[in-house]
Amino acid sequence: MPSIADALRSTLGAAQLDVAQRLASACEELGCQAYIVGGTVRDALLGLPAADLDVTVVSPPDDFPNRVAAFLGARLIMASQFGTAKLEKEGSTLDLVMARSERYRSPGALPDVTAGSLDDDLTRRDFAINAMAASLDAAKWGELVDPHGGRRDLELGLVRALHERSFQDDATRILRAARYASRFGFRLDAETAKQIERSGGYLVSISPDRFKHELERVFEESRVSSAIELLSEWEMLGLTGGDFVYDETSWSGFAEACAVGSSERRLVGWGVFSLCFQTVRSSGIALRWKLDHDASMVSMDALKLRERLRVSDLNNLAPSGQVALLENYSPYAVLAFQLSTRDGTTNDALDEYRTKLTSIRPDLDGHDVIALGVPRGPRVGEALQMLKNARLDRTVESRNDETLLVRQFVTKLDQE
Ligand code: CTP
């Protein structure tokens, strides 16, 4: 493994490195110290590009956010009572966190936060691999602070919690353990595995918002399938009011079909997740985790579609019938259901629907059918629907065919 100084130089971009160094000078001037911490240090040691720059400031003076902003010639966008601040300079933002100590009064509750030393700040963290810091001081630039053996764990490929109450304090860390284990191909340290086994019950004390947030971060992992498999093996997802069955095909298909970071990824994720519950009511997942409107629609539609297709075989319907049925459901739910179906012919029909049928339109529009004699009003909609169905079922293939069909429609109307 490279030295952290070299690793940071090669994994942080020039702009990030510049910001970090200027911040360190500002801190020196203001009599405090800045450290790169958490995921940034972990990823640098693994040789992975830094997603963002996490900096912690130890012993900041009063009014630090304003003073550091003035020193850097940056604008202070936000400063919170929890010791976090956001600065903006020339379009880039920098998040600052003051070193802190945390105390959890009860499982699942948010911690009491007070200013703390660097050691307090590292000790409050979830896993040893996330509990390292690298000094930004010019005199000791890149010096690694690793009181919990995080670097050794990186070498051994271990996810290890820092203390036995870690998951009790914050059960979302169970989801985080699955994320890191799958992302880096690491295993759980034996003691941590036991702690997780004992702590599943604390997941119910987590607010729906926090659970949802961490689960959506699981959806964003490129190895989402193995993260969900781990959580399912640890029985962390079935505790929540339904029987969760992990399905490799759905989750691998999901990882391939929906790009990381797209809104589709989040929404289809909720659909695939909902369909892993075998007996839940259609609103069960949406209510349990207080999903937002869009995710609720996908979750409920996916479950309703599964019910609907249990009783009716999609393949017995003409294309127009398939469209009439499926267009009542969110397209994200249709994709989620397609990913979860094991029936080859249903899969083909859903694929055809999503990739071809949804874009089929007649050539003629409302003006055209009126010009051909259809009276203005609801009959125009009927004529257009008739044309669309005829296109879908391939009983018309050209503009001429469509014109003929509309003429027949008008003749029939005249005879009524
Ligand atoms: N952390 C924690 N317990 C949590 C959430 C976060 O101890 N429940 C700590 C970890 O030390 C983590 C840091 O806060 O490194 C920042 O959290 P986050 O941004 O979620 O982690 P990153 O490592 O930056 O991002 P990622 O995990 O996706 O790489």
Q: What is the structure's pLDDT at 187?
A: 97
Domain ranges of the chain: 1-154, 157-236, 241-359, 366-415
Domain 157-236 has CATH 1.10.110.30: yes
Q: Which candidate, 292, 295, 321, 294, places its Cα nearest to that of 308? A: 321
Q: Mutate which of 46, 53, 125 to test ligand 1's pocket (most atoms within 8 Å of Cβ)? A: 125
Nearest ligand 1 atom to alpha carbon 125? 7
Contact call for residues 43 and 59 (beta carbons, < 8 A): no
Tell me what pLDDT residue 2 has.
67
Q: What is the pLDDT of residue 11?
A: 84
> Residue ranges of the chain with pLDDT lower than 50?
none
Mutate to test the pocket of ligand 1, among 46, 95, 130, 207 (most ligand atoms within 8 A of CB): 130
Which atom, in ligand 1's list, is nearest to the CA of 42? Answer: 23
Residues contacting ligand 1 via CB (< 6 Å): 38-39, 54, 125-126, 130, 170, 172-173, 176
Among protein residues, the one whose CA lies closest to atom 19 of ligand 1: 39
Q: How far is the CA of 5 from the centre of ligand 1 (A)?
A: 21
* Structural fold of domain 1-154: Beta Polymerase; domain 2 (3.30.460)
Task: Tell me what pLDDT residue 239 has.
Answer: 54
Task: Give the residue whose CA is nearest to atom 22 of ligand 1.
Answer: 39
Q: What is the pLDDT of residue 90?
A: 77
3-state DSSP of the chain? CCCHHHHHHHHCCHHHHHHHHHHHHHHHHCCCEEEEECHHHHHHHCCCCCCCCCEEEECCCCCHHHHHHHHHCCEEEEECCCCEEEEEECCEEEEEEECEEEECCCCCCCCEEEECCHHHHHHCCCEHHHCCEEECCCCCCCCEECCCCHHHHHHHCEECECCCCHHHHCCHHHHHHHHHHHHHCCEECHHHHHHHHHHHHHHHHCCHHHHHHHHHHHHCCCCHHHHHHHHHHCCCCHHHCCCECCCHHHHHHHHHHCCCCCHHHHHHHHHHHHHCECCCCCCHHHHHCCCCHHHHHHHHHHHHHHHHHHHCCHHHCCHHHHHHHHCCCCHHHHHHHHHHCCCHHHHHHHHHHHHCHHHCCCCCCHHHHHHCCCCCCHHHHHHHHHHHHHHHCCCCCCHHHHHHHHHHHHHHHHHC
Cα 380 to averaged position of ligand 1 atoms, centre (Å): 57
pTM over 0.95: no
